[in-house]
Structure 1
Amino acid sequence: MKDFFKNGNKTSLLISPDGNYFSYRADYRGMMNIFVQKTSDTVAWRVTNDTVRSIRRYFWKGNRIVFSQDIGGDENYQLFSVNADGSDLKGLTVFPGINTNVIDALTEIPGKEKELLVGINKRVRECLDPYLLNVETGELKLLYTNKENYNTWVTDNQGVIRLASKPDGLDITWYYKNNEKDVFSPMITVSFDDQFTVGSFDKDNKNIYTLSNIGRDKVTLSEYDPLTKKEVKEIFSDNNYDLEKIFYDRKKKKLVSVSWTGEKNERHFFDKEWEKIQKGLDDKFKDYSIIIGGYDDARTKAIVVIYNDRTWPKFYFYNFKTKETTEAANPYPWCNEKQMSHTKPITYRAKDGLVIHGYLTLPVGVEAKRLPVVINPHGGPWTRDEWGINPEVQFLANRGYAVLQMDFRGSTGYGKKFYKAGFKQWGKKMQDDITDGVEWLKKEGIADAKRIAIYGGSYGGNAVLFGVTSTPDLYAAGVADVAASNMFTFIRSLAPEWGPYIKQFYEMVGDPNDPKDSVMLAEISPLFHVDKIKSPLFISCGANDPRVNRAESDQIVAALKKRGVAVEYMVKNDEGHGFSNQKNQFDFYEAMEKFLDKHVKNKK
């Protein structure tokens, strides 16, 4: 079990801006810390010493490394920086209970080599005020007196704030200013269920590149004129999927590519030079997905990441001039690709005819007939599953389970109609899509109908509880991680966190203050239907979870025990929304394996 979840030897590699160093994350006393090594040497040194919580996010800024850390999973991230040699470790935004986001790292902007643009919610919890932060001195400079309570900020190619947005009930309004000294004026108001996001400004800092589905079903890439407040032209679209991300090269001042998730990761190039680089790497590493993970300012060296559905990410150095690659790190050498399972994109139809996309992973060397199964709905729910390596899925397949993941209605990436089909359908049609996936597996002869479990985290955990209450005879067991059990207490606890967006949440899920919605929320709340539960359950949560309060787990565990339903319960006091630390992950997956073996795989 530990092989699937233990910390990697050398992962998350990045090149320093001057190209003289590379950095990575590796284990130190059970926690992931940051190490640095000269590109011309073999000796590395550790620059952080966190023994309480693993460091997950970091990047280079000048000759310093900037990283973020929260406290026990509370998701109030604080920024720190340290020199490449490990000296002068400095807390930059150490404000207890306050969150800091990086709005723009201001890379490749002359004169901004030591500065970041950050958003901090010190003034009002729901809004991020923009500050210029010096990563060497820690000096903070407020850039805008945010009396309007804007909470999204977009910069131009010089790092100047030119766009801001804020919600207004069920609408979101974007504001624009023509230059740094100008004042914001309304540019466009969109419904919350439409997408309008800004990728970057164009080379003239005039028009903007947007990802939008206004007036269409799929998210497309367009050019938009903020002065005339009109779309200039549609640049690119995909007939089947929403576009997700653009790559704009600030140094070249060119739109490079747009990417999206289909059955696998897809990309379309506009820049021939970058396309040639990508094609060369694709040809060299056939059967793998390739990402250029970062490069130095002079663009002599880059870090290339390769992976597929059976391979954990491996890292290579890339020479821009010679086009040669050399292996930099294999973080998980103990995971043999040939021993891992393939993950296959699949589709099936829901009861009402809607096509549901998903992924099926089967155990290696076993005939796909009457297998024990783990149904694994994703969290969110406004996200989607992706093809690639998934440690949980590989672990379960290695233990003999077939694993089905599905993008039920309401998942993102498949267009506006599919997304909106999930509104106010928690525990209803969204759950029916999951149930229909189970029936598809049974019809195909893959699943043993008596040995089917359901496991998920966050919304996936909700789906576990919805499943064992609405279809009590379908599942032999359920594992619900950080799941909500009472829609009323769950939604009310979210109100402070969602702030001005709470009306949108009500529209998507349900309003506990609305009589009609209240009836629906009561119908789907698992806590009110524990009398229907027959399957043994394993419940887990983090005590500091800011999204799904621990009380959601406490109350359903108490109710199950009162009824005499078999339930196991794991709470970690140093975790939030999901288990981050290695020891806690080991405890969880060891307990889950024993639970599934007892109630599913070895069930007579």
Structure 2
Amino acid sequence: MTRTAANLVSHVPLIPREVLYGNPEKSGGKLSPDGQWLSWMAPLDGVMNVFLAPYAEPDQARAMTRATDRPIPQYFWAPDSSALLYIQDKAGDENYLLYKVDLASGEESCLTPFENTRVRVVGSSETIRDKLLVGLNNRDPMWHDVWLLDLTTGDLTIVLENNEWAGFEADDSLTLRWAIRQNEAGGTDMHQITDGVIAPTPCEVVDMDDALTTGTDGYTTDGSTLYWLDSRGRDTAALYAEDVATGTRTLIAEDPRADIGGTMRHTKTGEVQAWSVTYLRTEWHCIDHGIKASLDWLRDQLDGDFGVMSRTDDDRKWLVWNDPLTAPIRCFIYDRELDSLSLFYVTKPALEDAPLQPMACVEIPARDGLTLPGYLTLPADAKDPVPLVLLVHGGPWARDGYGFNRAHQWLANRGYGVLSVNFRGSTGFGKHFTNAGNRQWSKAMHDDLLDAVDWAVAQGHADLDKVAIMGGSYGGYATLVGLTYTPDVFACGIDIVGPSNLETLLETIPPYWAPMVKQFHDRMGDPTTPEGLQLLKDCSPIHKADKIVKPLLIGQGANDPRVKQSESDQIVAAMQGHGIPVTYVLFPDEGHGFHRPENNIAFNAVVEGFLATVLGGRAEPLGEALAKSTAQILTGEDMVQGLG
């Protein structure tokens, strides 16, 4: 007999939502290129900001930014170590502007002071330290013009007015070398640029099947070698080095299980020193003997997984992240000359003694023979089948990975098993795996999720009658598909910023995605053809809202530029039109996901009550979670334990 989820973990200390989903004490550590400074993210009046301290005196910290509303999502160092740079949007609209904080004066300025503009970094340089190439779509929201940005003066000089190109590749001299656009087949055409002139015919043509797994991967500093990640003529993307003068390519790395992922490059020459591949877990392979010696030494010192997150120009100092897997992630300062390792920070010290559970790597057979890599976390001491949450990643052209996962830990602590599966269409496992998801939304992609549930039940991990489906973006769509196309499989669903109508989704994509829209049409369904339009209709949960018979919780950001609020409004209205109850939570100051911690915590508080109501797990009392957030419960308050 299956014990209730709450009873299963009643002896296990409850990990507060605030600890898992609140701000880390520190995160995002970086070394200045000259090695004189340490920087990191930390809360300032409850909002994540950038801090700075001398390398020799890490305790002498000062805040360099003063964000008061939304956390700063990303920051980096100016190449000459004179300033910190960061991007920020407004209320989740993803119109990111670039800001600079001068180290000497502390003065903060916006380097791209335009409205409704999204900045892109097109190129940076080892030899030109005070300038960047940036893309700006302030002239036309669909196209990013290329500008040379002087980081000292803030001056912008136009390099190329763009009316047709989806992207560019530059070399270390900040010279544009490639212009890239989508071709009629849904792949990409790559045109060489010589002396500022774009060749009229493409030098490289990538078919649609290879479009997500093939592209340039940067030049060496002297411009003599161009690296490629390329799946043409093979399945998984391999790493190649091309001699620019002769065009000769040399294979550097390949793996039949997965695409080549990250590389470590020489900080001065830009030559590849090591490369990684991630099938179930990430494996690093070294070309450079010095890098190998350092990584081998670190492997002997650290438990669990680790990686290099920042390096100085002279490569003598590294910041190293370490994931012990059942303890919080920590960051170390590594002096390569001295072979010394010192703790810089622990991201969440409150998790040091928390009952975190191990994550297992699994391989799940799909009904057609495809192998689906995945990750399973079970509650403490789980010996019998338990209620399961199938956690579906977004994208769908993305992937789940191994390591500390706060959603897995949170849900396992509440008494649920958690399964994340890389369904077909996910990236990283070769082009055939990705392309197997083409035009299979709600079809074979959903079958993979059903096969994952059947596997978990057959393995004795899950209770067949107590399986929830939950996810964000594509994962939210998969949730709606689960409750409409297979209404008897899942006990409930949690849709976070998921599309309900693929027609309107494609009609309202951000304008800067338009240059690559053929990819969406080829992989989802082409609304410009009768057959494609019908496919989109057939795959849209909005047309099957009357089939929903299990409880549904929806979370949405009002400013989402990718999946508009109307996507959630539509399915809610359709359900209400059929007299079907639904719980709908709206955040007026969020976009594609919930980035303010107080909003994330509030939504998860609702999720806990919702799952406890349906699956019987335990829930931390609601407390002040909703009051501290901007959450608006538009309907269905009475369906969630602790709300009504």
- What interval of TM-score do these two structures reach, taking the shorter chain for normalisation? over 0.9
The number of aligned residues is 595
**Aligned: 1:224 with 2:242:** yes
Aligned counterpart, 1:131: 147
CA separation of 1:154 and 1:249: change in aligned 2, threshold 3 A: farther
Separation in 1 of the partners of 2:333 and 2:106? 26
CA separation of 1:337 and 1:458: change in aligned 2, threshold 3 A: farther
Pick one of 270, 274, 283 that aligns with 1:266.
Answer: 283
Aligned counterpart, 2:260: 243
Letter of the aligned partner of 1:17 in structure 2?
A: P
Separation in 2 of the partners of 1:350 and 1:526? 23
Q: Secondary structure at the match of 1:598?
A: helix
Tell me, yes or no, if the aligned pair for 2:143 and 2:512 is still in contact at 8 Å: no
CA separation of 1:384 and 1:602: change in aligned 2, threshold 3 A: closer
Tell me, yes or no, if the aligned pair for 2:182 and 2:518 is still in contact at 8 Å: no
**Aligned: 1:197 with 2:215:** yes
Letter of the aligned partner of 2:500 in structure 1?
A: S
Letter of the aligned partner of 1:504 in structure 2?
A: Q
Q: Secondary structure at the match of 1:176?
A: strand
Separation in 1 of the partners of 2:270 and 2:429? 31
Tell me, yes or no, if the aligned pair for 1:309 and 1:387 is still in contact at 8 Å: no
Aligned counterpart, 2:548: 533
Q: Secondary structure at the match of 1:200?
A: strand
Tell me, yes or no, if the aligned pair for 2:124 and 2:172 is still in contact at 8 Å: no
CA shift for structure 1 position 224? 2.9
Query: What is the 5 A alignment of 1:448-487?
Result: 448-487=463-502
CA shift for structure 1 position 314? 0.8
Provide, for residues 396-440 of structure 1, a one-character-per-residue CA deviation record: whole Å limited to 9, x for no partner.
011110001101111111111111110000001000000111111
Aligned counterpart, 2:97: 78
Pick one of 67, 82, 98 that aligns with 2:117.
Answer: 98
CA separation of 1:477 and 1:274: change in aligned 2, threshold 3 A: same
Aligned counterpart, 2:314: 298
Pick one of 48, 59, 65 that aligns with 2:76.
Answer: 59
Letter of the aligned partner of 1:582 in structure 2?
A: P
Tell me, yes or no, if the aligned pair for 2:97 and 2:118 is still in contact at 8 Å: yes
**Aligned: 1:49 with 2:66:** yes
Identity of aligned residues (%): 34
**Aligned: 1:214 with 2:228:** no
Pick one of 564, 568, 576 that aligns with 2:591.
Answer: 576
Separation in 2 of the partners of 1:566 and 1:3? 32
Separation in 2 of the partners of 1:114 and 1:332? 35
CA RMSD of aligned residues (A): 1.9
CA separation of 1:124 and 1:259: change in aligned 2, threshold 3 A: farther
Separation in 1 of the partners of 2:415 and 2:124? 45
Aligned counterpart, 1:561: 576
Provide, for residues 280-299 of structure 1, a one-character-per-residue CA deviation record: whole Å limited to 9, x for no partner.
1111113x222221123333
Point out where structure 2 has 5 or more consecutive residues left out of the alignment: 1-16, 619-644
**Aligned: 1:88 with 2:107:** yes
**Aligned: 1:3 with 2:19:** yes
Separation in 2 of the partners of 1:559 and 1:552? 11
Which segment drifts farther, 84-93 or 405-414?
Answer: 84-93
Separation in 2 of the partners of 1:577 and 1:193? 28
CA shift for structure 1 position 467? 0.5
Query: What is the 5 A alignment of 1:158-197?
Result: 158-169=173-184, 170-177=186-193, 180=195, 184=199, 186-194=202-210, 195-197=213-215
**Aligned: 1:350 with 2:366:** yes
Q: Secondary structure at the match of 2:509?
A: helix
TM-score, length basis structure 2: 0.89
Separation in 1 of the partners of 2:294 and 2:175? 31
Separation in 2 of the partners of 1:38 and 1:268? 33
Letter of the aligned partner of 2:38 in structure 1?
A: F
Point out where structure 1 has 5 or more consecutive residues left out of the alignment: none
Separation in 1 of the partners of 2:311 and 2:220? 22
Provide, for residues 125-150 of structure 1, a one-character-per-residue CA deviation record: whole Å limited to 9, x for no partner.
23222222122321111223435x32
Pick one of 124, 130, 145 that aligns with 1:114.
Answer: 130
Separation in 2 of the partners of 1:214 and 1:162? 21
Aligned counterpart, 2:356: 340
CA shift for structure 1 position 187? 1.5
CA shift for structure 1 position 356? 1.3
Aligned counterpart, 1:23: 39
Q: Secondary structure at the match of 1:208?
A: strand
